[in-house]
Structure 1
């Protein structure tokens, strides 16, 4: 009864808070929990504190406030009550006015401006919200009616984590812009999984690693999963909970045990301990403040805690104190002026020169990046920078010939001892031409017309004839080069447009600037593969698209590229991803596809999301078969996909199934197309003929489809461990109910011979699928994976089998409904290789089990998304058309 009274009292006080704020807040009384249908603003509170929640002991408060009383920008924050320090902010990049509102509803927490426009909201929630709590740890939490946590501010750190909070692998601490602006700045602190260390970055460049500090000790080499601050130190922890690296603070005694890790706006990392109403600094990194990239602004020289400009530079008040050339005829280039072809506008306005920084100077990034070239001369290093408009300077090693490029941004310069290294820096500068007069002066390069008048007529005629011959030869050579200007390498715009206009069947053409706008400067990456990177974009009509940047076409001409795109653009089928357009501009190549909102099949089939129901799996199998059948026999130009796998089968909405990356092998560069004659595809889906002299045909796609069909039935990769819970106790091959090392295609063959098809279905589908339904798909799959290509059905026959129009199998070769077991014996060899490799590897069920290499072939292992797959051919991934 007492608890009910307490709850009722809290709700009553909260209602008073909303309706009569002067009665509730003038006395400084706050609650630590509020129910839904609550609205607050800074203007609503008479004491102008903006506080509407407090933790149980008052250590933390939730408030709508600003940093200084005179500021007109307000934020929803959680602050440390004694010190007033913000530890979290919801809308740090989108402040509101004092009358902007925070609203708590069943759907979550939202912030709107004066006009009611949504500024910020919590992520979509799994169930309706019941209340909002501020815990004593400083964690702002949304609970449902069953007291389950729906959303926590601890899962969305800003620039600070406190005791009890974790910084996970996919998260970053982002500094504030400056002392008065809490919006995101340029510094980040995160876990780098590649080097298994915690790092700080400036504009994507590493400038400090936790392991470099003397207080950091590594206990193990386990991969780090998260960081947390405790009463004893800052820990980088592994997946099993043991520490991989830690920093211990012993300088101060902290009775409360409350600590925080903060990435300061200036770029340093601080570990602070709560002492009464203030925070005491226990640790700072980096120790050498000159290692902070922008400590002395652009090109500023940092040494002995003082900032100055290098010789030849001066501090420019107009540039906020950045160092600029003393010589007014020189300007510094900006990478932001680079156009689509990688050329800068400044490069056309004057000569490039390099201003030497002198000995005893270095750059923060040089210790964390590899030189672009080693063993080159200074002039060669300068040439590399001159050809790259994003390059703003270089460092060159005298003894090693190492060439470091300073790209995109320029930070401060570090003053060091001349004995520490032999790198010497040079800053790129552009000389501004003053040769253009006021319009009345003649340029010194004007042709001497007066001289011609004084010459004899015969000489004048000879000069003009001679110049005409030279001009005709230049035009002829220019024409043979495809319209390229001598000395440049860029086609004239008229010639370029003519090439495109004369090619029929091209889809919509996009300008590079249109794609930059549509993709928000290529910020949202949704995939990557052997052909390039894919970005999500939105066209002006709000149509969502997938923009693929092609990176492997070598020096292929624009005309050849457009010819192949015209062929691909003519292919239209309900089960093939539509090519909506392309961009071929200044050396850039892009393909614009329709956007498939559910991503690739592997995510739905093998991921942790919603289970794919059996009926949907049947639709996916049939849709994929129809798409391949059209490529093989339905379109004007027969196309062999060569890389059929779940990653190239895309899903949209409830039932759309479409194949992607068909026909892209036509866009291969000569170097990559050489691989096509030896091996393409992805391990686990490669047909045996890739290793023989047999011709590659559409039956190669049929084999890959059969392997995908088996994975659709099972719901797991063919080469991951198999749990044999359905096998009989007297089975002499696989006993017990534990995970066994089973190559699933071989297991499917064995179960086919025993007519035990229900043992092959995804166990998560228990009760949804019958033995006959599984039998149909397994028989089709086994027919598709015959070792001899001629025994495999065509994809058109596969469609007929799945639709029930034709009997299973090829009647002219096989008995009706029975795959040829003698042509599937090779699966036993594959299975034996898989078992041997998995025993050696000793991985768990979720890890990838690869087989020993059988051939020595140089292959591309860059294609992502094919994890958990295997092949007896190679333990590396073979990249195919994407």
Structure 2
């Protein structure tokens, strides 16, 4: 009974937070727009901690939500748009209630951002929870970013069955399956037997979901009352702290981590710190797919480092150089001398090298 009460309390707190912000939100009216080339490049939450709009990405711009207070901000959601935007694009809440990305030069709609909204929107708002919502005329929510997570969930948000998180580089996926099981595996091997992390959900009901509540509990639970607590933050509000925000993210290295962001009253910038309070795996080399073809992972001072096998070298233009800050992630190597079949007389030429010590082979 205590577990059931605890789980229901998590749900009530989350719903209360999202619902209560309707009265405190900045309402964006029909016809409003954003553009990366103007001062109106984002819509900000009432607390000014979250923003929705354009942010620089590679050689263009992406549309998403970020947590303010840091020099570059922390991206917590990205719109599902195939191509990067440029400075001539704009996000517009059209007069007919559609949230779209528009190319101003060609005067055409490039993408519909909230394509599965239940009805045309009457307004929109960036909430203090980090949830971006579209409202109907009677102020009910008809679409919200919380229902379409990308690589993160925030306090008050769930990862329901059939939903997943994908790391920002597109290499790893955390899947909340329809059978109530949670698995992390590389996108290139999207199947259970390639999973490198499984929080042992076999004892949970088949209606389980992943929940991060407002006080830092990261749980797997069901409405039947079975709960598995993955993480419980030990951080507490201090005397000068005005707000704590929790974020659980599938990071670039494929590891699922829980972060806490603190904001204090006596700080000019408002932002105080970002701390990792839990992570699913502590050895990056345990992540299946961390290294690429013909490379292996070596633990160096607690960090995974990908190296080429003897007789191989890195391939120029490895995708990791563009997609990850750590250039050693997903290193792809090629054979230095490519000889399919070299013979000399009756025998085949070959060389013997010193064996690699202490190697462990995982699933490929």
* Length-normalised TM-score, structure 2: 0.71
In structure 1, distance between residues paired with 2:216 and 2:119: 37
Secondary structure of residue in 1 paired with 2:53: strand
Q: Deviations over 1:14-47 (max 9, x none)?
A: xxxxxxxxxxxxxxxxx821111222211132xx
> 2:247 — aligned with what?
260
Residue 197 of structure 1: aligned partner = 181
Matches of 1:319 and 1:79, distance apart in 2 = 29
Instruction: Give the alignment partner of residue 230 of structure 2, picking from 232, 247, 271.
Output: 247
The equivalent of 1:542 in structure 2 is none
Partner of 2:149 in structure 1? 157
1:237 matched to 2:221? The reply is yes
Q: Are 2:124 and 1:132 equivalent residues in the alignment?
A: yes
Task: Describe how 1:88-127 pairs up with structure 2 within 5 A.
Answer: 88-105=77-94, 106-113=96-103, 114-121=105-112, 122-127=114-119
Indicate which of 106, 130, 133 corresponds to 1:141: 133
Q: 1:59: Cα distance to partner?
A: 1.7
The answer (yes or no) to whether the contact 2:118–2:142 under 8 Å persists in 1 is yes
Gaps of 5+ in 2: 1-24, 264-270, 319-330, 342-349
- 1:76 maps to which of 55, 60, 63: 63
1:60 maps to 2:60: no
Superposition map of 1:424-823 within 5 A:
none
Kindly tell me the number of residue pairs found equivalent between the two proteins.
293
Q: Deviations over 1:215-263 (max 9, x none)?
A: xxx79532243211121321112143x3432212344335634201111
* RMSD over aligned Cα atoms: 3.0
* Offset, 1:126: 3.4
1:274 paired with 2:266, answer no
Q: Secondary structure at the match of 1:286?
A: coil
* Structure 1 residues 307 and 162, CA gap change in structure 2 (3 angstroms): same
* TM-score of the two chains, using structure 1 as the length reference: 0.31
Please, which of 299, 302, 313 is the counterpart of residue 304 of structure 1?
Answer: 299
Report the alpha carbon displacement of residue 86 of structure 1 after superposing the two structures with TM: 1.2
Match of 2:199 among 206, 211, 220: 211
**Alignment correspondent of 1:386:** none
Deviation at 1:175, TM superposition (A): 1.0
Shift of 1:199: 1.4
* Shift of residue 358, structure 1, vs aligned partner: 6.8
Q: Which runs of 4+ in 1 moved over 6 A?
A: 355-359
Larger Rg: 1 or 2? 1
Q: SS of 2:312's equivalent?
A: strand
Aligned-partner Cα distance in 2 for 1:330–1:318: 22
Matched, 1:188 2:173: yes
1:176 aligns with 2:163: no
Q: List per-residue Cα deviations over 1:763-820 (Å, max 9, x = no partner).
A: xxxxxxxxxxxxxxxxxxxxxxxxxxxxxxxxxxxxxxxxxxxxxxxxxxxxxxxxxx
- Report the Cα distance in structure 2 between the residues aligned to 1:92 and 1:264, rounded to whole angstroms: 20
Contact 2:61 2:87 in 1 (8 A): yes
Kept in 1, the 8 Å contact 2:152–2:249? The answer is yes
Moved more, 118-127 or 155-164: 118-127
Equivalent residue number for residue 501 of structure 1: none
Q: Give the C-alpha shift of residue 329 in structure 1.
A: 0.6
Given that 1:223 and 1:244 are in contact with CA atoms closer than 8 Å, whether structure 2 keeps it comes out as no
8 Å CA contact 2:135, 2:143 repeated in 1: yes
- Gap change, CA 1:117 and 1:266, over 3 Å in 2: farther
Q: 1:328 to 1:253 in 2, by over 3 A?
A: same
Q: Return the match for 1:361 from 345, 353, 359.
A: 359
1:222 to 205, 208, 233: 205
2:29 paired residue number: 35
1:50 alignment counterpart: 41
